[in-house]
C-alpha cells in the first residue's frame, strides 16, 4: 500500500515540528521544503529527523529540499512559509510580505501537485488561505486554513488549568477569524459533559476567552525572538491525519463559506467534517443572538483584511 505523500513548505520551527509529528505518527512520507537561500538547511533537518526513526520506531521517509519538483504529486501540502511575528507585531503587520510569499508558493503547488489538499498555516491566516484559494484555483473543499484546532486547543488548555481537570474531558468550539475576533460558542463548551457555565463564572470565563484570543501574542512576548510552534504544528498534524486516514473528524477549520452562515465567499473558522476529500461538510450551528453578533463582527474583520491584502497586491 502506497504511503501518503505530505509536503511541508517552510522548514522553520512550525514546518519542521509538523514534519516531526507527521513522521512520528507514520502519516506518510514527508518532504520538507524551504527556499534556495536556506541552502542545505531543510536537508539537515530532514536527515536529523530520519536518524530519530530507529529510536522512535517509525518508518516514514523524510527528505529535505529546495526544489518543488521533489514535492510533485503530494496528497497533502502544508504551507507554513512566511515571516514570523515579532514582539509588538500583529498578524496584520505580516500581511503584505506573507501575501507575496503565499502567492508564489500557491503557484508552485498548482503546477506540481494539482490534485493535493492544501492546509495553510501562514499568518495572517484568514487572508493567507483566501490567497492560496485564489492562486491555486482548487475547489474550495481542498484549500483549508489551520486556526480553529489551535485556538480550541488553547481554550481547552486554559479551561483545564482553571478547573484542575484533564484536557481530555474538555470539549469546546470556537468560530470566526483567527485572532482577536474569534467567537467562543458557550453552548458547545463542556467539561465531562457539564456545561462550562455551571463551573466557571461568566466574568472569569470571559477572561479565559480573552487570553485565548491573544494566546499567540502571549507566546511571542515570552519568546522574544520567535512565535509559537509546538501547538500550531500539532494542530496541523491533526488535520493532516484526518485527511490521509479519512477520519471524518468534526473540528473547527478555516473553510470557504458562501451561503453557509451568510458569509458570502470568504474563509472563516467554522466546524467542519474533515476527511479524505478535504472539507466534506460545513456544520451550521444555531447561534444565539450574541454569538451571531460576534461572528458577524469577526466575518467583517476577515473581509476587511482580505480587502487590504487585495489592495496591497494590486499596488505592489
pLDDT, one tens digit per residue, over 238-284 is 999 999 999 999 999 999 999 999 999 999 999 999 999 999 999 99
Residue 224 lies in a domain: yes
Whether residue 80 sits in one domain with residue 25? yes
Whether residue 221 sits in one domain with residue 300? yes
Residue 133 lies in a domain: yes
Catalytic residue among 178, 185, 237, 241: 178
The DSSP annotation for 210-273 comes to HHHHTHHHHHHHHHSS----HHHHHHHHHHHHHHHTT--EEEEEEEEESSGGG--SEEEEEEEE
pLDDT top residue among 144 and 89: 144
pLDDT value at 85 more than 70: no
For residue 7, what pLDDT band results from cuts at 50, 70 and 90? very high
pLDDT top residue among 312 and 62: 62
Average pLDDT, the chain: 95
DSSP structure class, residue 258: S
**Chain length of the chain:** 316
Average pLDDT over residues 207-231: 93
pLDDT tens digits, one per residue of 165-178: 999 999 999 999 98
Residue 310 lies in a domain: no
Whether residue 170 sits in one domain with residue 292? yes
Angle between helices 230-244 and 148-163 (to 10 degrees): 120
User: Cα–Cα distance between 156 and 34 in angstroms, integer?
Assistant: 33
| pLDDT computed for residue 91 by the predictor | 58
For residue 195, what pLDDT band results from cuts at 50, 70 and 90? very high
User: Cα–Cα distance between 292 and 169 in angstroms, integer?
Assistant: 27
Contacts of 117 (CB under 8 A, 6+ apart): 75, 76, 77, 142, 143, 144, 243, 278
| pLDDT computed for residue 89 by the predictor | 65
This prediction's pTM: 0.96
For residue 284, give the C-alpha cell.
Answer: 451550521
pLDDT value at 295 more than 70: yes
Residue 258 lies in a domain: yes
| pLDDT computed for residue 180 by the predictor | 83
pLDDT value at 107 more than 80: yes
88 SS3 class: coil
Q: Which helix (H) or strand (E) holds 119?
A: strand 117-120
Residue 314 lies in a domain: no
Question: Where is the domain boundary, 145, 177, 200?
Answer: 145
Helices of type H across 2-147: 13-24, 41-50, 53-56, 95-112, 125-136
Whether residue 287 sits in one domain with residue 176? yes
End-to-end CA distance of the chain: 46
At which residue does the C-alpha cell 529527523 appear? Answer: 49
| pLDDT computed for residue 306 by the predictor | 96
Whether residue 135 sits in one domain with residue 221? no
Whether residue 174 sits in one domain with residue 230? yes
User: Cα–Cα distance between 41 and 50 in angstroms, integer?
Assistant: 14
Whether residue 190 sits in one domain with residue 129? no
Whether residue 98 sits in one domain with residue 39? yes
Average pLDDT over residues 135-159: 97
Containing structural domain, residue 161:
148-305
Whether residue 241 sits in one domain with residue 117? no
Whether the CB-CB separation of 102 and 122 falls below 8 Å is answered with: yes
Question: Where is the domain boundary, 145, 178, 196?
Answer: 145
Residue 213, domain CATH: 3.90.110.10
| pLDDT computed for residue 90 by the predictor | 64
Residue 46 lies in a domain: yes
| pLDDT computed for residue 87 by the predictor | 67
Question: Where is the domain boundary, 117, 145, 173?
Answer: 145
Catalytic residue at 20?
Answer: no
For residue 30, give the C-alpha cell.
Answer: 514527508
| pLDDT computed for residue 314 by the predictor | 87
Average pLDDT over residues 200-217: 94
Whether residue 126 sits in one domain with residue 157? no
| pLDDT computed for residue 68 by the predictor | 98
At which residue does the C-alpha cell 498578524 appear? Answer: 91
Residue 126, domain CATH: 3.40.50.720
Residue 171 lies in a domain: yes
For residue 119, give the C-alpha cell.
Answer: 492546509
Q: How far is CA 141 from the centre of its chain?
A: 15
Q: How far is CA 261 from the centre of its chain?
A: 21
| pLDDT computed for residue 36 by the predictor | 86
How many domains would you assign to the chain?
2
Contacts of 135 (CB under 8 A, 6+ apart): 102, 103, 106, 107, 110
Whether residue 278 sits in one domain with residue 170? yes
| pLDDT computed for residue 186 by the predictor | 86
> Using alpha carbons only, how large is the chain's radius of gyration in Å?
19
For residue 303, give the C-alpha cell.
Answer: 473581509
Residue 117 lies in a domain: yes
Q: What is the largest CA-CA distance in the chain?
A: 55
Whether residue 127 sits in one domain with residue 237? no
> Which percentage of the chain shows pLDDT scores above 70?
97
User: Cα–Cα distance between 295 and 293 in angstroms, integer?
Assistant: 5
Angle between helices 289-315 and 125-136 (to 10 degrees): 60
pLDDT value at 88 more than 80: no
Amino acid at each position: 500500500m502506497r504511503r501518503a505523500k505530505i509536503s511541508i513548505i517552510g522548514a522553520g520551527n512550525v514546518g519542521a515540528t509538523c514534519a516531526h509529528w507527521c513522521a512520528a505518527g507514520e502519516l506518510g512520507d514527508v518532504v520538507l521544503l524551504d527556499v534556495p537561500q536556506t541552502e542545505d538547511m531543510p536537508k539537515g533537518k530532514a536527515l536529523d529527523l530520519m536518524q530519530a526513526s530507529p529510536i522512535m520506531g517509525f518508518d516514514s521517509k523524510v527528505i529535505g529540499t529546495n526544489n518543488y519538483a521533489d514535492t510533485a504529486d503530494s496528497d497533502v501540502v502544508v504551507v507554513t512559509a512566511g515571516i514570523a511575528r515579532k514582539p509588538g507585531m500583529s498578524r496584520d503587520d505580516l500581511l503584505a510580505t506573507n501575501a507575496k510569499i503565499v502567492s508564489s508558493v500557491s503557484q508552485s503547488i498548482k503546477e506540481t501537485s494539482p490534485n493535493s489538499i492544501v492546509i495553510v498555516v501562514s499568518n495572517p491566516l484568514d487572508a493567507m488561505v483566501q490567497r492560496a484559494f485564489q492562486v491555486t484555483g482548487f475547489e474550495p473543499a481542498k484549500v483549508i486554513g489551520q486556526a480553529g484546532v489551535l485556538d480550541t486547543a488553547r481554550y481547552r488548555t486554559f479551561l483545564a488549568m482553571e478547573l484542575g481537570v484533564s484536557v481530555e474531558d474538555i470539549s469546546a468550539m470556537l468560530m470566526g477569524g483567527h485572532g482577536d475576533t474569534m467567537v467562543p460558542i458557550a453552548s458547545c463548551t463542556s467539561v465531562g459533559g457539564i456545561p462550562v457555565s455551571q463551573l466557571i463564572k461568566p466574568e472569569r470565563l470571559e477572561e479565559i476567552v480573552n487570553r485565548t484570543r491573544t494566546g499567540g501574542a502571549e507566546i511571542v512576548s515570552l519568546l522574544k525572538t520567535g512565535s509559537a510552534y509546538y501547538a500550531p504544528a500539532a494542530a496541523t498534524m491533526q488535520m493532516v491525519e484526518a485527511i490521509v486516514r479519512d477520519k471524518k473528524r468534526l473540528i473547527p477549520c478555516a473553510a470557504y463559506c458562501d451561503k453557509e452562515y451568510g458569509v458570502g465567499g470568504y474563509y472563516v473558522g467554522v466546524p467542519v467534517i474533515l476527511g479524505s476529500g478535504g472539507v466534506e461538510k460545513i456544520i451550521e450551528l444555531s447561534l444565539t443572538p450574541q454569538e451571531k453578533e460576534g461572528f458577524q463582527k469577526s466575518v467583517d474583520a476577515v473581509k476587511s483584511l482580505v480587502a487590504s491584502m487585495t489592495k496591497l497586491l494590486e499596488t505592489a
